[in-house]
């Protein structure tokens, strides 16, 4: 997926925040997603206004020590979200 696309959370998904992690649930498809701390941050940044590249940049600024793996993490996580209908690109 092009990094200029803007990921946006699907509003149908319910959210439970537990410490720094999330559980996401789609009642229509009865699908549950577990998001570790990183995935939870990515989910929060999927607001439809940031591009994927901007999501990566935001996280890299916040966690410079992990900057070399963040692009891959974001890519894999967004792919998982998309496969489960948890986000769409706008």
Partner 1 sequence: MTKRRVISFAQNAVAIESEGTRADRIVDFLFHDTSSDDRIVPHVELRVAEPIRPETLAVFQDYTSIFESESDAELAEFLLGNVTVHLADKSHGGMVFHAGALVWNRFGVLVPGSIGAGKTTMTTWLVTRGLDYLTDEMVWVPEGTDAIHGLTRPLNVKKPSRVVLQDIFDFEKHAAEILSSDRIDLIPPTALKPDNVLSTPRLGLIVFPKYQPHGELEIQQLSKAQTGFALLETLVNARNLTEHGFHETARLAQLAPAYRIRYSHFEQIREPIENLLASVDAR
| Residues at the site binding partner 1, with contacts judged by CB under 8 A | 14, 16, 18-19, 21-23, 25, 27, 30, 32, 34-36
Q: Cα 23 to chain center, whole Å?
A: 12
Segment holding 22, helix H or strand E: strand 21-26
Residue number with CB closer to partner 1 (16 or 47): 16
Rounded to whole angstroms, how far apart are CA atoms 8 and 1?
14
Q: Please say which residue, 1 or 18, places its beta carbon nearer to partner 1.
A: 18
Of 19 and 68, CB closest to partner 1: 19
């Amino acid at each position: 997926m092009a990094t200029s696309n803007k990921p946006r959370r699907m509003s149908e998904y319910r959210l439970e925040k537990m410490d720094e992690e999330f559980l996401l649930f789609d009642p229509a498809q009865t699908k549950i997603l577990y998001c570790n701390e990183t995935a939870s941050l990515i989910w929060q940044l999927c607001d439809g206004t940031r591009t994927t590249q901007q999501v990566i940049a935001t996280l890299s600024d916040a966690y410079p020590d992990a900057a070399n793996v963040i692009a891959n993490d974001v890519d894999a996580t967004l792919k998982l979200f998309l496969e489960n209908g948890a986000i769409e690109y706008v």
